Amino acid sequence: MKRTLASLGAAAVLAAGAIALTPASASAASGCWGDAGQKTTPWGATYAARYCHNYLGDYVGYDTGDTGYLYAGDNWFLCQIKDVENAPVGDAKNNWWLLTQGDVAYSDGGWGWFPANKVSGGNNYEPIPGLPTC
């Protein structure tokens, strides 16, 4: 299960690694890129955000439930962490999660973890290139 908000603390946050599928751009094919600005989490940690291409939309959240929804596209992510298995997408399998804020917020301002196997640029059970670990 994804870690709970309470167990994360200010400096540690959970995220994802990924599998490459159809990228939206040449940059997306090799992982995350660019400068998406500084973002501060609800827990007070500030990160330099990077753009990554998620080829599928999905819920973001914690083991306590979904906090939001992130649409497919070029979105910003802060960092990634290895944790429990993502739900498989075809042959794409991973156990990395990326921290972001959803386009639609249900709770916690939409902050939560996004599965790596829905992000272009990585391989099965590996982190997404160009995105730091949390």
In a domain, 5, yes or no: no
In a domain, 2, yes or no: no
Q: Return d(Cα 14, Cα 113) in angstroms, integer.
A: 6
pLDDT at position 27: 46
The range of the structural domain enclosing residue 114 comes to: 12-118
Which residues does the chain have with pLDDT short of 50? 1-27
In a domain, 6, yes or no: no
User: How many independent structural domains does the chain possess?
Assistant: 1
For residue 93, the cross-strand partners are none
Residue whose C-alpha is closest to residue 109's, from 55, 38, 60, 50: 60
Enumerate residues 6+ apart whose C-beta is below 8 A from 90. Answer: none
pLDDT at position 7: 34
Backbone CA torsion sign across 93, 96, 101, 105: positive
Continuous H helices in 9-110: 26-29
| 122 in Cβ contact with 12 (< 8 Å) | no
Cα–Cα distances (Å) from 109 to 21, 29, 34, in that order, read 29, 30, 24
pLDDT at position 29: 61
In a domain, 133, yes or no: no
pLDDT at position 63: 82
